[in-house]
Structure 1
Amino acid sequence: MMRVTDSQFNAVMQRSLMDNNIRLNKVFEQMSTGKKLNHLSDDPIASVRLEGLKKTMSDNQQYQRNIDNVQSQLTRYETNVDTLEELSQQVNELLLQGINGTLDQHSRAGIVLELKSLKSEMLTTLNQSNDGSFLFSGTDISNPSIDILPPYTMNTNGDYRETKVGDDQYVANNITVSDVIGSSAIFTDLDNAIAELEVPSATFIPTMKSAIDSNQSLHQNVLLTLTDIGSQYNSLDRLKETSIDMVFFAETVKTELEALDYAQASVELNQSMIALEATQKTFIQIAGISLFDLI
Structure 2
Amino acid sequence: MAITRVTQRMLSQRSLTSVQSGLNRMAKVQEQLQTGKRINRPSDSPADTGTALRVRSSLADQHQYIRNAADGVAWLGTVDSTLSGIVTQVTRAHTLGLQGGNTGSLSQAALDALATEVDQIRESVLQQANTQYLGRPVFGGTTDGSLAFKEDGTYAGDGGSVMRRVGADVTVRVDADGIETFGADGDNVFSHLADLSKSLRLGDSAGIQDGIANLADDLTNLSGAEASEGARYNRITHASDLANQSVLQLTTSLTDVEDVDLAAATVDLQTQEVAYQAALAATGKTIQPSLLDFLR
**Could you tell me which residue of structure 2 aligns to residue 250 of structure 1?**
250
2 CA distance for matches of 1:284 and 1:256? 41
1:86: how far off?
0.6
Ranges in structure 1 where 5+ consecutive residues have no aligned partner: none
Query: In structure 1, what is the Cα distance between the partners aligned to 2:201 and 2:277?
Result: 107
| 2:158 equivalent in structure 1 | 157
Question: How many angstroms does 1:279 deviate by?
Answer: 3.0
SS in structure 1 of the partner of residue 264 of structure 2: helix
The one-letter amino acid of 1:172's match is: R
Matched, 1:17 2:19: yes
**Is it true that 1:127 corresponds to 2:147 in the alignment?**
no
CA contact (8 A) 1:87 1:122 kept: yes
Residues 95-244 of structure 1: pairs in structure 2 closer than 5 A: 95-102=97-104, 103-149=106-152, 152-184=153-185, 185=187, 186-200=189-203, 204-244=204-244
How far 1:223 sits from its partner (Å)?
Answer: 0.6
What's the CA shift for 1:182? 2.4
Residues 7-42 of structure 1 deviation map (CA, whole Å, 9 limit, x = unaligned): 655554443232211111011122223333333222
1:178, CA displacement in angstroms? 1.3
Instruction: Identify if the C-alpha distance between structure 1 residues 247 and 130 changes in structure 2 by more than 3 Å, giving closer, same or farther.
Output: closer
CA RMSD, 1 decimal: 2.6
The one-letter amino acid paired with 2:77 is: T
Q: How far 1:108 moved relative to its partner?
A: 0.9
The whole-number CA distance in structure 1 between the counterparts of 2:80 and 2:144 is 18
Taking the aligned partners of 1:189 and 1:263, their CA distance within structure 2 comes to 75
Q: What TM-score do the two structures reach when normalised by structure 1?
A: 0.86
283-292 or 172-181, which deviates more: 283-292
Equivalent AA in structure 2 for residue 105 of structure 1: Q
Task: Give the distance between the partners of 2:191 and 2:272, measured in 1 at CA.
Answer: 89
Which of 32, 41, 44 is 1:42 aligned to? 44
Post-superposition offset of 1:55? 3.1
Q: Deviations over 1:92-113 (max 9, x none)?
A: 1111222223122121111111
Is the Cα contact below 8 Å between 1:132 and 1:142 reproduced in 2? no
Give the match's secondary structure for 2:184.
coil
What is the SS of the residue equivalent to 1:171? strand
Distance, in Å, in 2 between the alignment partners of 1:65 and 1:207 is 50
1:168-217 CA distance string (max 9 Å, x none): 332222223113212241333433332332224xxx34422322222122
Gaps of 5+ in 2: none
**1:81–1:180 CA contact under 8 A, matched in 2:** no
Q: What SS does the aligned partner of 1:68 have?
A: helix
Aligned length in residues: 288
Q: Deviations over 1:104-160 (max 9, x none)?
A: 2121111111111111111111122345432211111414212212xx321251111
More displaced 10-residue stretch of structure 1: 22-31 or 283-292: 283-292
Q: Structure 1 265/191 Cα, relative in aligned 2: closer, same or farther at 3 Å?
A: closer
Taking only the aligned residue pairs, the percentage that are identical comes to 23
Deviations 1:228-254, CA, capped at 9 Å, x for gaps:
121122212211221121111122223
